[in-house]
Amino acid sequence: MAGAGLGIDRWRRTHAELTDRLETFDHAPAAAAPAPPAEPRYAVPRPRTAPRPPRQPDAPATPLELNDASVDDLDRLPGVSHGLATRIVESRMRSGPFAAVDDLRRVRGIGRATLARLRHLVAVTRPP
């Protein structure tokens, strides 16, 4: 360690100009950003509008029955893609009907957050 420190000290003494430049390199004030070009006087200013948020499908008024829902019905739920809706129906066909809403966790792609978001939108009213 001592040898490295001595080597660095010697290099700093022999390259004083470069050392000063390197030490003040990140302390230099930032250059001002160029000003945007001025609009021509004859241009009519366009009204500024906020971009529209992406349209989410409307949530159903009554909870959707999981054991009767088709892929299209599930696809209409907010936050459920066509692929996820397909996996829900395939899981129902492969493993049998859902006994409770919490059984959605057996579907790949549905975690705690997705289940919490869907809990009030779906229901299991008919026993399996």
Question: Is 1 within a domain?
Answer: no
pLDDT tens figures, 80-128: 899 999 999 999 999 999 999 999 999 999 999 889 998 999 999 865 5
Is residue 54 pLDDT above 60, yes or no? no
Question: Is 45 within a domain?
Answer: no
Domain count within the chain: 1
Question: Can you give the pLDDT at residue 8?
Answer: 85
Check: CB of residue 125 under 8 Å from CB of residue 65: yes
3-state secondary structure the chain: CHHHHHHHHHHHHHCHHHHHHHHCHHHCCCCCCCCCCCCCCCCCCCCCCCCCCCCCCCCCCCCEECCCCCHHHHHCCCCCCHHHHHHHHHHHHHHCCCCCHHHHHHCCCCCHHHHHHHCCCEECCCCC
**pTM of model > 0.75:** no
| Domain carrying residue 111 | 70-123
The CATH number for 88's domain is 1.10.150.320
Mean of pLDDT values over 13-20: 81
